[in-house]
Chain A
Amino acid sequence: GESVGLHLPTLSVQEGDNSIINCAYSNSASDYFIWYKQESGKGPQFIIDIRSNMDKRQGQRVTVLLNKTVKHLSLQIAATQPGDSAVYFCAVHGYSSASKIIFGSGTRLSIRP
């Protein structure tokens, strides 16, 4: 079965610096990867996704990198702001399932002023 793991449960960065959150997945057949942001008391919010035919995708202040060779995914947040404080989940579309998403355990990002 598929599994997803995040490298660090917590990450503290200085406001204005770039943040990098890493994630590893187990199933080389996985073809769709998503990053979600979850603030306290709210449901996960879609940030950005990437499919396995791409290595990099950019959004507004965020970039997702996919390394299929080592089954590694990362989320980069540029110029981190206080509003970026949240738990970040990487999620993998379950290849054996039509639509199930498998989430990692999350990295809590905190911002130092």
Chain B
Amino acid sequence: DTGVSQNPRHKITKRGQNVTFRCDPISEHNRLYWYRQTLGQGPEFLTYFQNEAQLEKSRLLSDRFSAERPKGSFSTLEIQRTEQGDSAMYLCASSSSSGRLRRTDTQYFGPGTRLTVL
């Protein structure tokens, strides 16, 4: 257990429905990341927060996807009008930084939320 928690662990939904996932990072970590992982592939970066600011978004993050981290602690990832292609594992990771934007730091991953869109 890395200390990063994600809820729910599994979500089954019908195409066209909206879904929301939650991530609680390690408490002292100021950086939070979302990744998507499809079967047989490595995780793909979606977006990244430093405190409450969303600093980077991948082009994988279509306009149906939105992520928030309103108080700089937990984060939510919402997918609107889900499609079957959204079926994947959604992973959250967190890390701490020294405050220098380019500092590399170790990302610790949660267990993921597995989304199945029927």
B112 at the interface (CB under 8 A from A): yes
Assign chain B's interface to a size class: 20 to 34
A44-B43, A45-B2, A105-B42 given; A98·B102 CB < 8 A: yes
Point out the residues of chain B lying under 8 angstroms from A4, CB to CB.
42
Contact: B56 with A97, CB < 8 Å? yes
Point out the residues of chain A lying under 8 angstroms from B33, CB to CB.
99-101
B74 at the interface (CB under 8 A from A): no
A89 at the interface (CB under 8 A from B): yes
B98 at the interface (CB under 8 A from A): no
Point out the residues of chain B lying under 8 angstroms from A45, CB to CB.
2, 109
B48 at the interface (CB under 8 A from A): yes
Contact: B43 with A99, CB < 8 Å? no
- Cα separation A70 to B31 with both chains bound (whole Å): 32
By a beta-carbon cutoff of 8 Å, the part of chain B in contact with chain A is 2, 4, 31, 33, 40-45, 48, 50, 55-56, 58, 91, 93, 95, 97, 101-102, 104-112
* 11 more A-B residue pairs beyond the given contacts A49-B106, A94-B45, A98-B102, with a C-beta to C-beta distance below 8 A: A32-B104, A36-B109, A41-B111, A45-B2, A98-B55, A99-B48, A99-B105, A100-B58, A101-B43, A102-B45, A103-B43
